[in-house]
Amino acid sequence: MKKQNLYKLLYQFAIIAILTFMGFRLLFDKAYAPDFEAYCPFGGLQALGSYLTMDSLSCSMTSTQIMMGVALFIGIVLFSRLFCGYICPLGTVGEWIGKLGDRLKVRITPKGFVDYALRLPKYALLFITFYFTLKSSELFCKKFDPYYAVASGFDSDVVLLWALLAIIALVVGSLFVRLFWCRYLCPLGALSAIFKFSWWFLSVMALYVILILVGLDISYVYPLLVIAGGGYILEVTRMKKVWPDPVHITRNTETCIDCGLCSETCPQGIDVARMEKVTHTDCTLCGDCLHACPEKDTLLINKKTIKWLPAVVLGALIILGIGAGSLFELPTIDQKWGTPEQIESAGVFEMEGLKNIKCFGSSTAFANQMRRHEGIYGVATYVANHKVRVLYDTSLYDDEKLQQLMFVPVKRVVRAVTKDVDSVTYYTLTVDKFFDPLDATYLQHLLNQKTDACGFQTEFACPVIVRIYFPAGTEPGREALTEVIESKNLTFTSNDNEFHVKLPYKVITFDDEPMTMSKREYASAMFVPTASRFNGYSNFSDDVVSKYILRMGANASLKARYTYLVSHLSNDDGIIAFETALDSAGAEMGVIHYVDTLTVPDDIYAAVNSDTLLFHYSDGRTGKLANPFSFPDPGTVIK
């Protein structure tokens, strides 16, 4: 009986066991939010590429993933593709399914031209993955990666059809074709093969850096194309490399009995029994052949009896990657717009726990928000810790003023106030660990699920002031409301996705008694007016402009969609403005300004009730949206 490679099995079972544990915990602990990609070297290499070319880090990537990518590179250059052979879950699944294919006697190993042609798609996927990741600073591989799709439960980053096709390719392909995913489709497999020809990769990168340094403006697309295309050509033309890897398998032809067990065992299908040195690019230095060989001192590593080497080296590389990654932190974005003198003398303010800082897009939005303020010279964000670092003029700001700049006050309707309600009761309290708009979203769900609250608003202070409104008579007691706000967990559904969140809020102060206001005062307190002018508004004098007044009614709950309605209305050249206001009873009204020589009320009424909203993006493109608004009653006209 063939001896098993226990070192490799130990790694593979450990990885599968850890992932299975995380998956089961996810099923039973709704607030558990594991990061299945925390140590993924491929994500780390994409993030590093994004950081070097675009000066930004792909979303949720950390220095640990980057250092795991660097460890992968070092491991491949000095040893071999140990990651593929030992710890990649897709490699393990593909290998185990392949063993089933062997037992069923349905597995084949493509050879010659067919094999060469099949190796091309993984290089195309490598190019596409890096191209879109560098372009958008979002990890593109998440869209189709079978591992990420299954581990994340097909989260919103996954393109369902692509991921399903990839999973089918992995499972069905591996049953019939030797390591189908690894050899023919995996972009990390392509990158690992390129790293095996490190002289090629490093030469192209060095040339690119030199050309950039001498002042040429060359897109990253070209070196990416050359590296991927050249990698493919090298893989198929130099499959049996002229020079072996520095660490490689050797066969002692004197003691070999030609039993063929090594060739039979090799998961890559390499004919080890016919080689003195294994120089094949597919060799991952997994060591299966070493363990299968029945003859003492026959199959060796660099002619030495060191079967344990791959497992020990891999362990050392993992420790090195995680250890080095924990020593520093790379920002998701790092933008500075002050002069060198301003930056030199700037103060540095850091704040953690900003849940809204969660990706490249939200980081950029935050930087744009801060850029508008005088005396702010730069912003860096770290999405993994939801942290920001702000460079500021110390003569203009202190910590509290900076927090005030970053704070976005909100007014949120939890539910509409019914007609029979005459007055509203409210509590004012301060809440610790409550700061950004995502906190407001969580509070909105908490209040909706556990109270009869109709709305709340926030105001800057340290800690933040929160005012919560209830239809009079439905307000809970202080203790009950405190318990709601200090809930440890929240589960809610948004866009058909279920979210589980751990909450940290702590009520610090609480008004002794609730206050009461009229329904009209409540409407006024919660009202956020909208005003938009377009189609040459200022070119028209008052005597040609009329106002078409619409009762917003239930449409008032669609405030987030008002921009679509306004954009749609702008298609009529006669409509020149849209704004909202409250009437004397506190009901929200839509006021549409129009030029009465260019359009008529009937056309406006038809436009707001049309089946589809035709809107315009800021870059000039147009889009369509099923109209969520409905106005059963025509508006009234005032001059």
- Using CB under 6 A, list all residues that contact ligand SF4: 249, 251, 256-262, 266, 268, 270, 272-273, 278, 283-289, 292-293, 295, 298-299
**Residue with Cβ nearer ligand SF4 (94 or 471):** 94
User: How far from 167 is each of 170, 173, 215, CA to CA, in Å?
Assistant: 5, 9, 45
In the beta sheet, which residues pair with residue 108? 177
**Residue with Cβ nearer ligand SF4 (9 or 549):** 9
**Residue with Cβ nearer ligand SF4 (261 or 330):** 261
CB of 89 to ligand SF4, least distance (A): 18
**Residue with Cβ nearer ligand SF4 (256 or 359):** 256
CB of 298 to ligand SF4, least distance (A): 5
Distance, in Å, from the CA atom of 141 to the CA atom of 168, rounded to the nearest integer, reads 17
CB of 196 to ligand SF4, least distance (A): 12
The string of DSSP codes covering 72-134 is HHHHHHHT--HHHHHT-HHHHHHHHHHHHHHHTT--B---HHHHHHHTHHHHHHHHHHHHHHH
Strands (E), 323-402: 333-336, 347-351, 376-382, 387-392
The string of DSSP codes covering 500-516 is EEE---EEEEE-SS-EE
Strands (E), 207-252: 249-251
Are the beta carbons of 128 and 228 closer than 8 angstroms? no
CB of 248 to ligand SF4, least distance (A): 8
**Residue with Cβ nearer ligand SF4 (257 or 544):** 257
**Residue with Cβ nearer ligand SF4 (228 or 292):** 292
Phi and psi angles of residue 256, each rounded to the nearest 5 degrees, phi first: -65, 135
CB of 157 to ligand SF4, least distance (A): 33
**Residue with Cβ nearer ligand SF4 (126 or 293):** 293
Distance, in Å, from the CA atom of 474 to the CA atom of 459, rounded to the nearest integer, reads 24
CB of 294 to ligand SF4, least distance (A): 6
Contacts 24+ apart (CB under 8 A), 116-120: 116/236, 118/183, 118/184, 119/183, 119/184, 119/232, 119/235, 119/236, 120/232
Strands 455-459 and 411-413 turn out to be antiparallel
**Residue with Cβ nearer ligand SF4 (273 or 388):** 273
Three-state SS for 405-460 is HHCCCCEEECCCCCCCCCEEEEEEEEEECCCCHHHHHHHHHHHHHHCCCCEEEEEC
CB of 198 to ligand SF4, least distance (A): 18
CB of 345 to ligand SF4, least distance (A): 58
**Residue with Cβ nearer ligand SF4 (191 or 380):** 191
* Chain position carrying tokens 């990666």: 145
CB of 621 to ligand SF4, least distance (A): 50
**Residue with Cβ nearer ligand SF4 (119 or 143):** 119
CA 621 to chain centre: 25
**Residue with Cβ nearer ligand SF4 (17 or 257):** 257
* Chain position carrying tokens 């080497």: 309
Are the beta carbons of 572 and 604 closer than 8 angstroms? yes
Are the beta carbons of 153 and 159 closer than 8 angstroms? no
CB of 39 to ligand SF4, least distance (A): 23
Tell me the two tokens of residue 160.
């369902």
* Chain position carrying tokens 């299968």: 292
CB of 80 to ligand SF4, least distance (A): 7
Contacting residues for 70 by C-beta, under 8 A, at least 6 apart = 44, 48, 321, 324
